[in-house]
Chains A and B, each alone.
Chain A
Amino acid sequence: MKQHSQSAARAPMPDMPKTGTGSSWVTSMRKELTRNRFLYMLLVPVAIYLLLFKYAPMAGEIIAFKNYRLSDGIWGSSWVGFQQFEKLFASREFYIVLKNTLLLNLYHLLFAFPAPILLAIMLNEVRVEWYKRTLQNLLYIPHFISWIVLGSIIIALLSPSTGIVNYLLKAIGIDPIYFMADKLWWPVTFIVSGIWKEAGFGTILYLAAMASIDPTLYEAAKIDGANKIKQIWHVTLPGIRSTIAILLILQVGKMMDVGFEQVYALRNPAVTSVAEVISTFVYTRGIVNLQYSYTTALGLFQSLIALILIVSVNRIIKALGERGLW
């Protein structure tokens, strides 16, 4: 390939007409390939990777419209049209799983999304530099720890018999709470543990945005008699508005997706009715129970809604005058 384009550029083929848009396009293309052949060479494996491992699975979603059987393969399996979707939308489990996914994401948006913003505002007010540094470094650590490990720590902390949380509750006269096994408490545990893991790390972007706020704005606000709260409201928050906007788009784009690993680490049979989300359902029904086409239909439904969501939120944010994602 490399050799060919090189020699071709040096000696154009004689039977090629010298004029005409088609051939000049080919010639300039050849020149471009020769000049940047190293760069194009690097991109070849990248393109193969994208095609094979990113775009081929997208094409593989057609099995949602088939009755896929391992023995028949993707092409050999029979077409069934929208039958898988009809089956899905007619089933009760679909609505439970969808409701759980949306609810957990809604709670996340309401409680976990603002957490790093509040934390960053508080950290931003810490004036002692070494103290702030130390706090930040400690707050970032949970982000780097696996959900399996955190899940195991959380289960131990919240255990009704041996956990420290229930021990303290007992000390003030409250009966043990089954945080992990109670349908009401499990979502709370889920959200709080999510905040605990990610809120600290989430402050990085907000703190950076705050650092770029012009300090004279704060001085001007002080001269105008604004107290700390008012300074935060009128200077800090407007200063991080576009950061909030971007992260909000990303979050809404994930509305249909609750990460598999957190749920899998925290769930147990007692709370399936509130903890089964799309990702865990696809795993259990698809990978474990081999219902490939049925779960692919659910996966495709999820991906399409997510795509629509992120594209429309990006539009809205742009219309509001903020910088979008693309």
Chain B
Amino acid sequence: MWPVEFNMEAYVKLLKDGQLIIAMKNTVVITVIGTALNMFFTIIAAYPLSKARLKGRNFMLMAILFTMLFSGGLIPNFLLINSIGLTNTYWSLWLPALISAYNMFVMKTFLEGLPDELEESAAIDGAGDFTVLWRIILPLSKPVIAALTLFYAVGWWNSYMNVLIYIRSTDKVSLMVKLYQMIDLVSPELLRGSGEGVSQISITPEGIRAAAVVFAIVPILCVYPFLQKHFIKGVLLGSIKG
């Protein structure tokens, strides 16, 4: 019941096994590229849609809002990804989730709060459209960019349903799915409740599992303290205009 002795064997075994390291690397790739794509597309959607003068803006906004209320569902999405040949590539994870409608609205609300004069004066100074966005708007949007980056990144790090559905090769699987497979292997014994399955050697299945859990949590706990003030801001930004 209680921890008997302190040892690092479970961690050493996991590291030597290599599979978990590969899964961790995959998760990093999925998270970093996924988040970058998310931010790019969220910005190019939110920036034009934050301009009240833009014709067709309301139509676009309604089209995006509607995707929050009604969606094609799992199977049609799956068949689409299948038919365009993305199955078992990370694009099958990234492309369907390029923009979170909710995050797009958060970003748009924030951008609407920036004074128009900034852009006008920059344009008078001869700055092009792209320069205005890159040099003026984005630096001012740091708080919302930080918050949304965090939300997207945590989402990618933790999500596993998409990997479960679209990724077939074991060497492409993410950390969470790998972890699930490991839990699945030891849980029948835990559910039955008999202690017989637990071996007497110093590495128990629980030990391995606990070590794997630590692998999954530590990166989040490491970045959490630096980012926590941003996500609170992000949540509140979202609430201003739903």
Contacts and interface: CB of A to CB of B under 8 A. Distances in A.
B11 interface: no
B114 interface: no
Given A38-B129, A57-B71, A140-B228, A146 B80 contact: no
> Which bracket fits the contact residues of A?
35 or more
Contact of A53 (B95, B129, B193): B95
Given A45-B44, A46-B41, A286-B74, A145 B79 contact: no
B110 interface: no
A178 interface: yes
Given A148-B176, A156-B209, A205 B69 contact: no
B75 A159 contact: no
Contacts of A145: 158, 216-217, 220
A137 to B, nearest CB: 6
Contact of B232 (A43, A146, A204): A204
**Interface SS, A side:** helix
A45 B99 CA distance: 11
5 contacts: A58-B70, A61-B72, A141-B221, A156-B206, A296-B73
A162 B69 contact: no
Contacts of A46: 41, 44-45, 60, 99
Given A60-B79, A152-B183, A161-B195, A47 B60 contact: yes
Given A42-B48, A205-B236, 16 more contacts: A39-B48, A39-B51, A60-B75, A60-B80, A61-B73, A61-B76, A68-B79, A146-B176, A149-B213, A160-B191, A162-B195, A176-B193, A180-B191, A205-B235, A268-B187, A303-B73
A147 B228 contact: no
Given A46-B44, A149-B216, A204-B236, A300 B78 contact: no
A217 interface: no
B26 interface: no
Interface in B150-178: 154, 157-161, 164-165, 176-177
A253 B76 CA distance: 21
B8 interface: no
Contacts of A303: 70-71, 73
Interface of A: 29, 32, 36, 38-40, 42-43, 45-47, 49-50, 52-61, 63, 68, 73-74, 137, 140-141, 144-149, 151-153, 155-156, 159-162, 164, 167, 176, 178, 180-181, 204-205, 208, 243, 246, 253, 260-261, 264-265, 268, 270, 279, 282-283, 286-287, 292, 295-296, 299-300, 302-303, 306-307, 310-311, 325-326
B191 A270 contact: yes
Contacts of B235: 204-205
A146 B195 contact: no
Interface string B82-113: 01000000000001101100000000000000
B73 A56 contact: no
Nearest to B151: A144
Interface in B32-58: 41, 44-45, 47-49, 51, 53-55
B41 A162 contact: no
A303 B69 CA distance: 8
Contacts of B122: none
A287 B165 contact: yes
Contacts of B83: 73
Chain A to chain B: the 5 pairs with minimum beta-carbon distance, closest first = A57-B72, A60-B76, A160-B193, A299-B73, A38-B129
Contacts of A253: 69
Given A39-B51, A156-B209, A296-B75, A326 B217 contact: no
Contacts of B67: 50, 54-55
Interface string B213-236: 100110011001100100110011
B198 interface: yes
B157 to A, nearest CB: 7
A193 to B, nearest CB: 15
B201 interface: no
A162 B165 contact: no
A74 B79 contact: yes
Given A57-B80, A61-B72, A243-B239, A50 B63 contact: yes
Contact of B191 (A268, A292, A307): A268
A110 B69 CA distance: 23
A144 B31 CA distance: 14
Contacts of B239: 205, 208, 243, 246
A63 B75 contact: yes
